[in-house]
Amino acid sequence: MRVAAISIFPEMFRAITDYGVSGRAVSEGHLVLDCINPRTFTHDRHRTVDDRPYGGGPGMVMKAEPVEAAIDEAVERVGGEAKVICLSPQGRVLDQAMVESLAAEPGLVLLSGRYEGIDERVLESRVDEEISIGDYVLSGGELAAMVLVDAVVRQIPGVLGHSQSAVEDSFADGLLDCPHYTRPEEHRGSRVPEVLLGGDHERIRRWRLKQSLQRTLIRRPELLRERELTAEEQRLLAEIENERPD
């Protein structure tokens, strides 16, 4: 997948190109990430990318010209049919379904603003979609862009080894993850659940699914309302309801 990130702080993206799963995706060629700096497309002595807001008010606004020139360069780098996304609190909140559909895109251009935001004429004319990673304000779009890339790159076949893709499965698309344990069996007086120490894989699978259902019911019940439950999941939920203290 080809991604072009537009930002006045391109070095920030080392956080995903140089580490972990996304770093390996880059080194193995599953992900190509180009960083494009609007400052490259300025022509004045001070390389100005921002200016004062019309109508007054605090802070500065990113100028349309350098950002649009960066978008042109980004679209060219990614290949014609790139989807241009701007990360902002005004966007649709990212969820796993959106991540999966973004992973199917041939190329993405991710626009990260700074200051008070980007001249609205850029959003109107060049941005296909605004996406938010949650209802809170950040100092720039870069961290949001990196969150999106990390989530999307995990969907690319071959990026997650078999062991890790199991993690995705156990996430069971739409349930919270089950608890995880590793050695030692006893840690400060707390033991690993016995079921996990045996070798009964079917029993372990069922225990993990029940744990995911129980956690989702308790912590995020609204996720259960949106999700079709298999017959087995319905049975396990009934068991959980019966076991719940009144």
Ligand X SMILES: NC(=O)c1ccc(NC2CCCC2)nc1
Annotated binding site for S-adenosyl-L-methionine: 113, 133-138
Residue 127 near residue 84 (C-beta atoms within 8 A): yes
- 134 scored as a contact of ligand X (CB under 6 A): yes
- 37 scored as a contact of ligand X (CB under 6 A): no
Residue 188 burial (C-beta neighbours within 10 Å; 0-12, 13-18, 19+) = exposed
- 240 scored as a contact of ligand X (CB under 6 A): no
d(CA 82, CA 173): 27
Angle 125-129-134 (CA atoms, 0-180°, nearest 5)?
A: 135
Residue of 10, 66, 107, 141 interacting with ligand X (CB under 6 A): 141
Nearer to ligand X, 112 or 214 (CB): 112
Residue of 87, 146, 149, 160 interacting with ligand X (CB under 6 A): 87
Residue of 15, 21, 138, 229 interacting with ligand X (CB under 6 A): 138
- 136 scored as a contact of ligand X (CB under 6 A): yes
- 66 scored as a contact of ligand X (CB under 6 A): no
Handedness of CA 83, 131, 5, 169 (dihedral sign): negative
Q: Which residue is nearest to ligand X (CB)?
A: 113
- 98 scored as a contact of ligand X (CB under 6 A): no
Sequence-ordered alpha helix ranges (H) in 38-95? 64-78
Nearer to ligand X, 82 or 144 (CB): 144
Residue 82 tokens read as 């790139």
Residue of 7, 22, 37, 132 interacting with ligand X (CB under 6 A): 132
Q: Is 183 helix (H, G, I), strand (E, B) or coil?
A: coil
Residue 93 tokens read as 């909140």
Q: Kind of pairing, strands 32-36 and 50-51?
A: unpaired
Residue of 4, 70, 133, 175 interacting with ligand X (CB under 6 A): 133
Residue type, 140: G
Residue 169 annotated as catalytic: yes
User: Measured from the CB of residue 141, what is the shortest distance to ligand X in angstroms?
Assistant: 4
Residue 154 annotated as catalytic: yes
Residue 132 near residue 90 (C-beta atoms within 8 A): yes
Q: In what helix (H) or strand (E) does residue 150 lie, and over which residues does it extend?
A: helix 142-153
Nearer to ligand X, 75 or 85 (CB): 85
Binding site for ligand X (CB under 6 A): 87-89, 113-114, 117, 132-134, 136-138, 140-141, 144
As annotated, the active-site residues are 89, 116, 154, 169
